[in-house]
Amino acid sequence: MPQGTDIIIPIVVSPFVEYIWSADKTLWLTKEIPRICTPEELASITDKDILSEIINKPFVKYIV
């Protein structure tokens, strides 16, 4: 694991927009960004407001 890594957010990045079959919160990073996302959507999570929303999700793992 790279030094300085303290949070793991499990996602999949696809070059294509993927169909998300459910509105279940475990499948979405935010209301607009799914966990199966495009590179553009992934780049948008670097925004501090969006990232602060994501880090409280139950699927996010903190490394101690």
Query: Does a structural domain hold residue 11?
Result: yes
pLDDT at 2 over 80: no
Query: Does a structural domain hold residue 41?
Result: yes
Query: Does a structural domain hold residue 32?
Result: yes
Query: Does a structural domain hold residue 1?
Result: no
Query: Does a structural domain hold residue 58?
Result: yes
Find the domain containing 54 and state its range: 7-62
Query: Does a structural domain hold residue 21?
Result: yes
Query: Does a structural domain hold residue 2?
Result: no
For residue 51, give the nearest of 33, 36, 37 by alpha carbon: 33
Q: Give 3-58 pLDDT, tens digit per residue.
A: 888 889 999 999 999 999 999 999 999 999 999 999 999 999 888 899 889 998 99
Question: Locate tokens 């999570």: which residue?
Answer: 45
Domain count, the chain: 1
